[in-house]
Structure 1
Amino acid sequence: MPLVAGLYTALLAPLGFALVGSSRHLVVAADSGTAAILAGSLSHMATPGSAHYASLAAMTALLTAVMLIVARLFKLGFLADFLSRTVLVGFLTGVGIQVAIAMLGDMLGIAASGHGAVSQLWQLVNGISHLSPATLGLSLLLVLALLGGKRLAPNAPIALGLVIATAGASWAWNFAAFGVATIGPVAGGLPPFGLSLPNWDEVLQLLPVAASCFVVIIAQSAATARAIAARYNEHLVEDDDILGLAIANGAAALSGAFVVNGSPTQTAMAERAGARSQLAQIAFAGCVFIVLLLLTAPLQFLPRCMLAAVIFTIAIGMIDLGTLRAMRGESPGEFKLAVTTACAVAIIGVEQGVLLAITLSLLRHVRQSYRPNTAVLQWQAEHGWIATPVTPGHESAPGLIFYRFGAVLFYANASRFADEILSLVNSAPDRVRWLVIEADAITNIDYTAARVVLSLLEELHRQEIGIFFARVSPSLHADLDRHGVTAALGKGKIFGSRHEALAAIGV
């Protein structure tokens, strides 16, 4: 796309999201994830930079907006609930690593246009002989100034001051003559409002491109908004955010821009600058309006390494080492999940990394339900009922086994439930007369698990063992009635409290 199209994405799209979006911090504008999808797809359909290419990009944004509206109608915002805090920490860390590596090329003066962190690092290594000493020196000075300014004057607009100063110095001393790359000429004026429609066959070819952008937008925008909202304990309405993203993409399509997305780096940049509401994005759009009318000419002198240094410092600030360290101490399993997410996002890509992380989170949850905490409850005079590990030979009292199962009873863990009970019964030092199942964690039971429980009851009845359920919730009671377990138990065998169940057997 023409360079000025990047400014067009920051003109109407932020306003569209600010109107209805619930996130107070999310910045919706151009983003590398969706831009990479467009570049990889549209370049096979039209000449990059041409009017035809621009019309295809605008139509992709419009199709993406339609898909987001459909997602809002079906209320798909609930998908964001599958993004745990663990995934979000890993996501932002991965994005920080990915973006920091992507900025190294401009900071070293080496061309690194590959897609993905590994490809870019390889290009940097191979191109180290073409490094620009002037660019590297300027980049180091700028990074030190940005990091030092953040520490010494966190509320001062250090980055803005450096942008103005380096653009002015570049104009005065012709940085380009020393090998420091600059942005180059940027067209001015407002965008051409309207939409040039491609033919029907091209629209059909754009559908999978828009679908890919849609997936990235849903995953990345939700992850970014969730991460920043968690930091400020703010409530999000994800369906409102989806509608805001739809309006933003529709506005981008009609204003000569391309697909827009919730940007992690721009959101982090706005937050660091003090943004606490969407009013900041309205001001952002206003500034872009002024730049388009009056200030595009001075932009041509701005060194590319200046912009890269700003984004680099933002990116490394997204790597939350403190939370990762705390996570490693408290929950090693979740720490591994966060690191896996970070590596996947940095190496594979944002959308694949987020989807992989969600899948791993769900598998981890299923694994916990498949192998829940179980215990044999034993009475101690000084402590009352205490939980002890389920070990063959354990019993709660002579002739009594008081067993607790710590998860919903469903098809995957029902056999474990039955096997542990039979193991306890068959290895008990005294003949078991009573089995009490504490079911406070069993909120419901599915059809397959109910069949396993009925078979277990038959076996225990053959051994003349009385079976009781304690701490049964109304929802579980209804499931037991529906599946015939209540009838198989016999009258008066299900109780709402532990005390009632024990009283029924005289304990």
Structure 2
Amino acid sequence: MRDFLQQMTARFSVLRGVLPLNGVAAARDALAGVQLASMDIPQVLGYARIAGMPAVTGLYTVFLPLVAFAFFGASRHLVVAADSATATIFASRLATMAPASSAEYAALAAMVALLTAALLLVARIFKLGFLADFLSRTVLVGFLAGVGVQVGIAMLGDMFGVTGHATRSIDQLLLVVREAAHINVPTFAISALVVVVILVCKRLWPRLPVPLIAVVAGIAASDLLDFAAHGISVLGPVEGGLPPLRIPLVTWQQMLDLVPVAASCFVMIVAQSAAASRVFAERYHEPVDTNADLLGIAAANAAAAFSGAFVVNGSLTQTAMADRAGTRSQFGQLVFAAVVVAVLLFFSRFLQYLPHCILASIVFTIAVGLVDLRGLFAIRGESPGEFALAVFTAAAVVLIGVEHGILVAVAVSLLRHVRHSYRPHTMVLAPGDDGLWVPVPAVPGIETAPGLIVYRFGADLFYANDHFFVDDARRLIDRAPSAMRWFVVDASAITDLDYSAARSVGELCAALKQNGIEVIFARVNRYLRSDMDRHGITPIVESRCIFSTLHEALLAAGVEQPHERVKGAP
């Protein structure tokens, strides 16, 4: 049987996250799956609250979606379930289209999951897993911090027992402040107790399932003491049984309105899932197949859409919880799904007594965990500029919303990359104190030797930075202490040359040659040489002035024994 399953896995690329699996590993993962369920069930109930969906739909996200990813995904560790980031993304938009927890709202949420599944399937077909690289880790830290702040603010109303809800974080905060005089004291006391206990136990006894204990204790206390009669809001009747399978029905216009929401969820899923799967694959020295994971998450979201749930994501926090519980394959997640089935069939009726404030408090502690202060301070210590980008992204999420904040995060990541390529570091070899040539920042007034400048441009040449290359070269030559005879371009960092840059570089080389200055290209790789040939730069500088090493280029410029004079020369 085991051989048959392995053959099926190899042939159809399924169950890669489960197999190979022996009896000992299955027992270990089964026990870990039960422990994971005890920790994660309260969290997914809280995520349903963030999403504006009925609490039971949080359980739906860890049933069929978990099974679908285990079947089609490749990661042995990634937990695909409800997630606070994606829940906040679509909830912020759906709240303006339908009342939370209504049938129309649930249909819209299911359609977002279906559209997200379609985008993920397209990404898998065209092998777009590389898109995860366009959301930098720095900006992702800032984005998650912003989500944490926004989710934390959204939970304050339930934690304080304040009625009313605002869609924007600032408005919600102002609402809580205005209603401060009407805080329900018992609700606030329970909330404060739950938050303190969870945070303290998380530090002292991280493996203790405190959220589950809080849920069970809250249900028991609510039933015995009749919390609802004392003004403490509770969930109310929760539909039991397995999720009904149905196709989400929305209007054509509503579906078009949901496409940007699904696109935002798609970007978040690709970035966060890839990061989570890579972290744990590297920890256990396992291969990473991002494209296969995209297929698995697409299947999981399709399962969520047809089972009355909402968007699911590869959660870094829940994957870390699974790892701490001891799971080493998706078999542990399948056992988790089996535990959820038991809860849906036999224990869902007890959920009606669960106070909203306990769920909100659990979610609040989750939100606190999303704000990675240690990571932010580490970024600040190493790169103040990147820290500013992370803070800007967090502020954008809080002030303008998660849906637009994720787009800002992607734009900021790309702009930062373009900025570095637009004005790259440039260097000139100059005599050092020990007589050897050392690279120094390229500022006018320095030269490598009388009549010689060795200039290094630190990026590919393209239409946005070609003028910087030309202007920098002209300034160095015009302000050199002696008349220039050779201008050597160290092209080790240049692998690409587009049409616009080729025109500018060709015109510069032609002008310098007319002024009696020989232009020599050193460390030219095969790709750059091909571009130079195609764009007509080679005939201008002549093939005799294009070299694959700096040593040959300096010899062509008449410099004797460059290896002894140039520190670090090849």
Q: TM-score, normalised by structure 1?
A: 0.90
Match of 2:394 in 1: 342
Partners of 1:278 and 1:83 lie apart in 2 by 27
Match of 2:97 in 1: 41
Match of 1:25 in 2: 78
Task: Identify the match of residue 271 of structure 2 among 219, 223, 226.
Answer: 223
SS of residue in 2 equivalent to 1:27? strand
**Cα deviation per residue 1:426-480 (whole Å; 9 max; x = unaligned)?**
2222221111111111112111111111211222112111221111111111111
1:111 has 2:193 as partner: no
Deviation at 1:245, TM superposition (A): 2.8
SS of residue in 2 equivalent to 1:382? coil
Q: 1:256 to 1:303 in 2, by over 3 A?
A: same
Task: Identify the match of residue 142 of structure 1 among 194, 211, 224.
Answer: 194
Q: 1:105 to 1:445 in 2, by over 3 A?
A: same
* Residues 201-350 of structure 1 aligned to structure 2 (within 5 Å): 202-229=250-277, 231-232=279-280, 234=282, 236-262=288-314, 277-350=329-402
AA partner of residue 530 (structure 2): A
CA contact (8 A) 2:272 2:316 kept: yes
CA contact (8 A) 1:37 1:212 kept: no
SS of residue in 1 equivalent to 2:353? coil
CA contact (8 A) 2:80 2:312 kept: no
CA contact (8 A) 2:65 2:80 kept: no
Deviation at 1:20, TM superposition (A): 2.1
Task: Identify the match of residue 456 of structure 2 among 390, 404, 422.
Answer: 404
- Larger mean Cα displacement after TM superposition, 363-372 or 12-21: 12-21
CA contact (8 A) 1:25 1:228 kept: yes
CA contact (8 A) 2:524 2:547 kept: yes
Q: 1:281 to 1:71 in 2, by over 3 A?
A: same
Deviation at 1:236, TM superposition (A): 4.6
Deviation at 1:272, TM superposition (A): 6.9
Partners of 2:362 and 2:326 lie apart in 1 by 16
Q: TM-score, normalised by structure 2?
A: 0.81
SS of residue in 2 equivalent to 1:184? coil
Deviation at 1:167, TM superposition (A): 1.2
Deviation at 1:424, TM superposition (A): 2.1
Deviation at 1:170, TM superposition (A): 1.5
Deviation at 1:337, TM superposition (A): 0.8
AA partner of residue 485 (structure 2): R
Partners of 1:264 and 1:400 lie apart in 2 by 54
Partners of 1:256 and 1:56 lie apart in 2 by 10
Q: 1:386 to 1:363 in 2, by over 3 A?
A: same
1:389 has 2:441 as partner: yes
Partners of 2:491 and 2:435 lie apart in 1 by 21
CA contact (8 A) 2:276 2:316 kept: no
SS of residue in 2 equivalent to 1:300? helix
Q: 1:298 to 1:135 in 2, by over 3 A?
A: same
SS of residue in 2 equivalent to 1:323? helix
Partners of 1:338 and 1:165 lie apart in 2 by 39
Deviation at 1:271, TM superposition (A): 6.4
- Larger mean Cα displacement after TM superposition, 185-194 or 265-274: 265-274
**Cα deviation per residue 1:313-366 (whole Å; 9 max; x = unaligned)?**
121122111111111121111111111111222332223212111111211211
AA partner of residue 220 (structure 1): M
Match of 1:11 in 2: 63
Partners of 1:66 and 1:230 lie apart in 2 by 23
Q: Give aligned-pair identity as a percent.
A: 50
Deviation at 1:377, TM superposition (A): 0.8
- Larger mean Cα displacement after TM superposition, 372-381 or 56-65: 56-65
CA contact (8 A) 2:428 2:440 kept: yes
SS of residue in 2 equivalent to 1:428? coil
AA partner of residue 96 (structure 2): G
Q: 1:445 to 1:258 in 2, by over 3 A?
A: closer
Task: Identify the match of residue 183 of structure 1 among 235, 249, 252.
Answer: 235
Match of 1:421 in 2: 473
Aligned residues: 499
**Cα deviation per residue 1:459-504 (whole Å; 9 max; x = unaligned)?**
2112111221111111111111111211111241111111111112
Q: 1:59 to 1:319 in 2, by over 3 A?
A: closer
**Cα deviation per residue 1:218-263 (whole Å; 9 max; x = unaligned)?**
1222233244346546465333333223222322333233444456
Deviation at 1:55, TM superposition (A): 5.4
Partners of 1:125 and 1:270 lie apart in 2 by 38
SS of residue in 2 equivalent to 1:377? strand
AA partner of residue 29 (structure 1): A
Q: 1:498 to 1:258 in 2, by over 3 A?
A: closer
CA contact (8 A) 1:25 1:276 kept: no
1:71 has 2:71 as partner: no
Match of 2:538 in 1: 486
- Larger mean Cα displacement after TM superposition, 404-413 or 277-286: 277-286
Partners of 2:150 and 2:479 lie apart in 1 by 56
Q: 1:279 to 1:344 in 2, by over 3 A?
A: farther
- Larger mean Cα displacement after TM superposition, 249-258 or 148-157: 249-258
**Cα deviation per residue 1:271-299 (whole Å; 9 max; x = unaligned)?**
67666654443333222211221112211
1:471 has 2:519 as partner: no
**Cα deviation per residue 1:370-401 (whole Å; 9 max; x = unaligned)?**
11111221234736221223232221111112
SS of residue in 2 equivalent to 1:41? coil
Partners of 1:256 and 1:159 lie apart in 2 by 25
AA partner of residue 376 (structure 2): L
CA contact (8 A) 2:113 2:262 kept: no
